[in-house]
Amino acid sequence: MIRLQSYLAGRWQDGNGPGTKLVDPVTAETLASASGDGLNMAEALDHARAKGGPALRALTFAGRAALINEVAGVLTENRERYNALSLANSGTTAHDTMLDVDGGIGTLKYYASIGRKLGEVHTLAEAGIEQMNKDENFRGMHLWTTVRGVAVHINAFNFPSWGLWEKAAVALLAGVPFLAKPATATALVAYEMFKDVIAKGVLPEGAASLLCGGGRDLMEHLKPGDLVSFTGSADTALMLRSHPNVQASNIRFAVEADSLNLCALGPDAGPDSVEFGAFVKEVTRELTIKSGQKCTAIRRILVPRERVEAVIAALSASLAKIKQGDPRDESVRMGPLVNASQTQAALDGLAQLKAEARVVVGGGEAKGCFLPATVLLCDQPMTGKAVHEIEVFGPVATLMPYDSVDQAIALAHKGGGSLAASVFSGDAGFNATFVPAIATAHGRVQVVDAVVAGGHTGHGVVMPHCIHGGPGRAGGGEELGGLRGLRFYMQRTAIQANKATLDAFIAKSATVSL
């Protein structure tokens, strides 16, 4: 059995005690264990600030981009081994693994390309100089500079590779050292990836740290200028964000939490339309990819009331074609949930939904960690409560009929804020009304019509070009989004001076327009 160690203060260290077991969700075999007990968090963070920060800030954006590209190269060399580890520790199919492993590598390469374009500079200047009074020489601009703290990245269990590297890529490009804490239950892939990168020596000392196991007193040792980027449950986010030291030190804190993402079928999309077919395909995909264990997965399905029966029939036929089982069988397209505790949590949530909705597609008993894809129907969603508040983190979604566009908009907002929404409609008038009306409740809205039905990236796929995050219960944070992602790791400062002085700053910066 493998013992996962932590890489802190420039050396590999092991925590105290037996730690937490990492298991194969198909066979229940114990694969590894990890413990963070007794590890010196203050030393780890100080080392990152003292060593990693200055080393990264000394490099230009192009120099940091070269490092990021080297990290991607190390991971690419070993991707097949990571794929096998992902299957064993997370029960992922080949496609599921690709989203995680290749997604992490692809995001690194994307941010390396951004860094190369920014060039041999250390700062970013927002486009535009403002004249503020009658003196034409006295003007103002905004300059972005790298913060001098350390970024703590706390990641969820469902994407051990992508979750690690999508945060790391942006932090490294901004010039900020990071300490990553993967969710222990599925940390095997993150650990092996990190071990390979450290062994190659591609990053400066202190630029990257890894904590495997519990964080314990990690929040107590943060200092002003440090940052936290968290992905996980809203309850855990609230606990960490409310920590007295986090509050007293005004730690910049980004959260991606629970999300009741929706998918809406437009009133124009009849059963024979391209949009209807694309809608059924996407809902099926979101229920089965990673067995519904994605923070962006569809949880609420809005359909015109007159289309409910057609949607149920189409989803039933589509899901019936999905084979669930051991992903070592290449014909399997849907694996298990990651462990017994997550399966039980999903069953508990499903039981709460059944108080307001009835199963109309799939369902059935869980066998071990295998939970069948399940679609429920809530006939009167406007009066429902649990269906708008309970996120089952698994292959479960609820159909909600709407009787008017205004009602569909109201239902969208009842989710309290979500990461993603998708709209399947070819009606320009409906889209022009519906999309802006729900945008304030969503971090991303994807509109699919016949033109893009065969080429869109998918409701649940996070692309680094666009922001990832959402308002309200989704946490209120933002990640990625190209250059927008750098803002979290940099300080924007208003500089007021002689125009010639400002021009000198601009000459030594990359100008950005956001």
How far is Cα 454 from Cα 275, in angstroms, rounded to an integer? 10
- As annotated, the active-site residues are 256, 295
Residue 228 bridge partners (DSSP): 152, 253
Helices (H), 322-461: 340-353, 405-413, 428-439
E strand residue ranges, 63-154: 123-126, 130-131, 138-146, 151-154
Q: Which residue has the tokens 């290449």?
A: 330
Going 109 to 465 to 123 to 162, the CA torsion angle's sign is: negative
Side-chain half-sphere exposure of 59, counting CA atoms within 13 A: 23
* SS3 state of residue 172: helix
Cα–Cα separations (whole angstroms), residue 217 to 39, 68, 148, 243: 9, 30, 21, 10
- Which positions ≥6 away from 304 have C-beta within 8 Å? 265, 266, 267, 401, 402, 403
β pairing state of 20-23 and 123-126: unpaired
Give 312's Cβ-side CA count (13 Å radius): 19
* 6 membership: H or E segment, kind and range: strand 6-8
